[in-house]
Amino acid sequence: MDDNPQPVTVIVRRTVKPGHEAAYEAWLDRLTAAVAAEFPGYMGAEFHRPANTGDAYRSIFRFDSLAHLEAFEASELRARMLAEAAPLFAADAVWARMTGLEFWFDPSPGTHMPQPSPHRMALVLICVVFVLVMAITLLLGPFMQGWPLALRALSAVTLQVLLMTYVIMPRLSQALARFIFPTVKYT
């Protein structure tokens, strides 16, 4: 067993047959509820609907260690759930297993290298976090004067994480995909 387990993130991109989206989303809810109840180390999931009909759903699953993820991947529950949902799928899923911050970034079309540059990811995240901290401090600082330090910090961190997760990084990851993921030309 790993003495220093690190969290692992799995991103699954799956195309659903048109007209089966509601059934697929209900299946995802059942799957994640079962995983949360039965598997230690499960840290949660996020689901992103496709922007256009026929595009792939993106599901992000997190486990506290590779061993716990592999236990889920080898489980009878997973096999049974995938068999149940097979009629909903338009194509095979594309899986990516990640252990760093790369789950924030979507590769550009034609990208061959599945792992982005950690140095470039760090640079982008430093810039985004810096700008957000400065903006939140300047804009909300005057309104939070007199609040206890812990409450000010919690409010700022909560706002920052929500903005990064739902507003900034989904848009920025597309705009900076070529910077984060080197592209490979095929002949």
CATH class of 8-99: alpha beta
User: Whole-model pTM?
Assistant: 0.52
pLDDT in tens, 74-129: 999 999 998 999 999 888 877 776 655 444 555 444 434 445 567 777 888 888 88
- Start-to-end CA distance of the chain, whole Å, equals 43
What is the residue-averaged pLDDT of the chain? 79
Q: Where are the domains of the chain?
A: 8-99, 118-180
**Predicted local distance difference test score (pLDDT) of residue 187:** 31
DSSP 119-166: HHHHHHHHHHHHHHHHHHHHHHGGGGTTS-HHHHHHHHHHHHHHHIII
**Predicted local distance difference test score (pLDDT) of residue 98:** 60
